[in-house]
Structure 1
């Protein structure tokens, strides 16, 4: 479903634990995000909510500060990911945002980091979402220059 939406730049179905799942998707602009939220993927989630989910899906909007988009022709499956969230010290939000933007150049040189997103959530919270083909790729990133 998500692949059929032209405005969806990247879409990932993720598993957090035994029975907790999520979707991470990004868009070029607010219009693309709004079209997605009004589209069939969101409607399917809301329709299935009561029958298969323990609670209503939580949809959180955020801004992408920097990215390494997945190569469409790589064909390499993505099976491992990391999600890191953190809060900036009060008054240091712009420095954290710039640090994340600067990290993009380092991540671009990591061949096993298939996709990487630096995000600004809300109220001084930031995060990084990145994906890898396997545990080796994830380990290489964790022992690389960004961490």
Structure 2
């Protein structure tokens, strides 16, 4: 089952560039993890950072958490971070995986909690939104994530700010917003980020189309042409 991991990190005021450097240098370690499909080190603002990565099974995620980057974060928690990192594990509901040669520089991360009982309907709306996102030439990667029974998130990347702005006025984003208006009562958390470093495998060899995130909802994972 394809899944993802999102780790939010807050640096102490005096260690922001130290954490940035740590994340930039962590790319080499991520590249050495064959089970880590895609890996992004991101920065929301001066002191808030994150890591988003994807896997085609739970074992890959476990190995990554126990690996060199995870161990390094444990040390940084003691020496350089403001509190513990916040970890969110999720299942991939639908995705556009990037070309390995794509160069993303910016992205958005949206956290959504549907009203009770509306999770399945909202998930189906995200699956439909994938088709619209695939039509956007400069949407390099797009992941719809199921974080809890009624919890979802969308993570996407772009080559430059103009592409991100176009996406936020485009049909895919508008479709997600329509679903939010129908199935969500609580505030949505919408955040922009810059990308510090990234690994993109293209998910070569993965066959996720027939796997199930949960009963009655198929996974849609693939390049734009899938």
Shorter chain as denominator, the TM-score bin is over 0.9
Shift of 1:46: 0.8
Q: Does 1:106 align with 2:132?
A: yes
- Uncovered stretches (5+) of structure 2, i.e. residues with no partner: 1-28, 174-226
Give the Cα–Cα distance (whole angstroms) in 2 for the partners of residues 125 and 145 of structure 1.
22
Residue 45 of structure 1: SS of its match in structure 2? helix
How many residues of Structure 1 are paired with residues of Structure 2 in the alignment? 145
Greater relative contact order (CA < 8 Å, ≥ 6 in sequence): 2
Shift of 1:73: 2.5
Residue 61 of structure 1: SS of its match in structure 2? strand
Q: Does 1:127 align with 2:153?
A: yes
- Uncovered stretches (5+) of structure 1, i.e. residues with no partner: none
Q: Does 1:6 align with 2:34?
A: yes
Partner of 2:66: 38
Task: Give per-residue Cα distances to partners, 1:57-106, cap 9 Å, x unaligned.
Answer: 222211111111110123xx211110111111211111111111111111
1:6-85 correspondence to structure 2 within 5 Å: 6-74=34-102, 77-85=103-111
Shift of 1:123: 4.1
Partner of 2:216: none
Residue 31 of structure 2: SS of its match in structure 1? helix
Structure number having the greater strand percentage: 2
**Alignment RMSD (CA, Å):** 1.1
Partner of 2:18: none
Give the Cα–Cα distance (whole angstroms) in 1 for the partners of residues 104 and 95 of structure 2.
16
TM-score using structure 1 length: 0.93
Give the Cα–Cα distance (whole angstroms) in 2 for the partners of residues 73 and 131 of structure 1.
13
Give the Cα–Cα distance (whole angstroms) in 2 for the partners of residues 130 and 4 of structure 1.
23
Following superposition, which runs of at least 4 residues in structure 1 exceed 4 angstroms of deviation? none
Give the Cα–Cα distance (whole angstroms) in 2 for the partners of residues 142 and 131 of structure 1.
12
Residue 88 of structure 2: SS of its match in structure 1? coil
Aligned residues of 2:139 and 2:163 also touching (Cα < 8 A): yes
> Aligned match of 2:166 in 121, 140, 143?
140
Give the Cα–Cα distance (whole angstroms) in 1 for the partners of residues 148 and 44 of structure 2.
21
Aligned residues of 2:133 and 2:172 also touching (Cα < 8 A): yes
